[in-house]
Amino acid sequence: MNLYSYDELLSFLLSLLDNKNISFNHIKKICAECGFDTTLVSHIKQKTINEEGKKYSKSDLIEEIKLKINETYSEEKKKVFLELLIEKLLDNDIKIENITKFGYQIYDNKLLVLKKLFDLNELENYSDCVQDSFVKGVKSIQNNDYLMAITLFTEAIETLVKKYSSKSSLQVGIEDLFNNLELADDENYFNYLKNIAKYISILVSKYRNKYSYSHPHEKEPKLEDAMIMMKISEFIFLIHKKGIERNEKVNLIS
C-alpha cells in the first residue's frame, strides 16, 4: 500500500523549475546535480526549433526530463532524485508549497520525509478499523491536520487495546498489551520492554488528553507532535505483531 505518488511529486517539483530566476541551462545543471543524465535531453536547446516550428521552451525541457525519468528510473532511483531535487530547490530559494500531500514536509528549512517505519502491509492482519484509522492518520499529516492525525492514531491504538486487553484505562491497557506477550526469554529484556510500554502508555494518554477532538485543548499540535504519535502507533503495532508471531511459534513447539 503506497500512500505517496512519486510520479505526481515529480511533475510538481519539476514544474517549479519553470521559474523566471532559473535559466534554461540552469534547469539542466540542477537536474544533473541530482543525478540525471542530461545527454538524454541534449537535443533540446533554447534556440533550437522543435517539430512544431517553435523554439524549445523551459516547459518543453522539463516535460522531456520528466518523460526520460519515468522511462528509465526505478522507483528507488526516482525517490533519490526527488529528495535531491527538493534540496536544490530550497538552495535556489524556490518556495515549495502544498508538498505534504505528496508525503513530504519542509520543517526548519530541512526536508522531512513522512515515510513509515514499516510497510502498511504489516497491518494486514489487524481489523479494518485499525488499518483505516492509521492510514487516515498518515494522510491527515500530509494535509497538515495534525490534530486529526493524533486523534486517528489514538483511535487505532485504542481499538487494538480493547481487543487484546480487558483493562478499561488506555494507559493501563497498553501496558497490559505488552505484559500479555511473551516477547523474550531473557527476563531483563522483557522488563526493559515493559518499562518502554509504561513510558509509551503515559505518552499516548498525555497526547490524547492534550490533543484530541474529543477533549478540550489549549493550543494546536505541531508536526512533530503528530509524528511522535505516528511512530508510537507503529511501534505498538510492530511489537504486538512480533509478539503474536512468537507466541504462535512457542505454542507450536510446546
| pLDDT per residue as tens digits for the range 150-171 | 888 888 888 888 877 777 777 7
Tell me which of 108 and 227 has the higher pLDDT.
227
Quick one: pLDDT at residue 1? 36
Tell me which of 223 and 190 has the higher pLDDT.
223
Q: Could you tell me if 125 and 248 lie in one domain?
A: yes
CA 4 to chain centre: 8
Is the pLDDT reported for residue 253 higher than 70? no
Quick one: pLDDT at residue 110? 58
- How many residues make up the chain in this entry? 254
Q: How far apart are CA 64 and CA 49, in angstroms?
A: 15
Q: Could you tell me if 132 and 235 lie in one domain?
A: yes
Quick one: pLDDT at residue 21? 87
Instruction: Please indicate, yes or no, if residue 175 is contained in any of the structural domains.
Output: yes
Q: Could you tell me if 83 and 22 lie in one domain?
A: yes
Amino acid code (one letter) for 73: Y
Is the pLDDT reported for residue 117 higher than 70? no
Identify any residues that bridge with 71 across adjacent strands, giving them in sequence order: none
Tell me which of 19 and 165 has the higher pLDDT.
19
Question: Residue 178 burial by CB count (10 A; 0-12/13-18/19+): exposed, middle or buried?
Answer: buried
Q: Could you tell me if 130 and 216 lie in one domain?
A: yes
Q: Could you tell me if 124 and 232 lie in one domain?
A: yes
List the end-to-end C-alpha distance of the chain, in Å, as a whole number: 36
Q: How far apart are CA 134 and CA 152, in angstroms?
A: 6
The number of domains in the chain is 2
Domain range for residue 93? 6-113
Quick check: 4 and 103 in contact, CB under 8 A?
yes
Full-prediction pTM beyond 0.75? no
Q: Which of 18-27, 39-48, 213-222 shows the lowest per-residue confidence on average (mean pLDDT)?
A: 213-222
As given in the structure block, the three cell numbers for residue 177 are 498489551
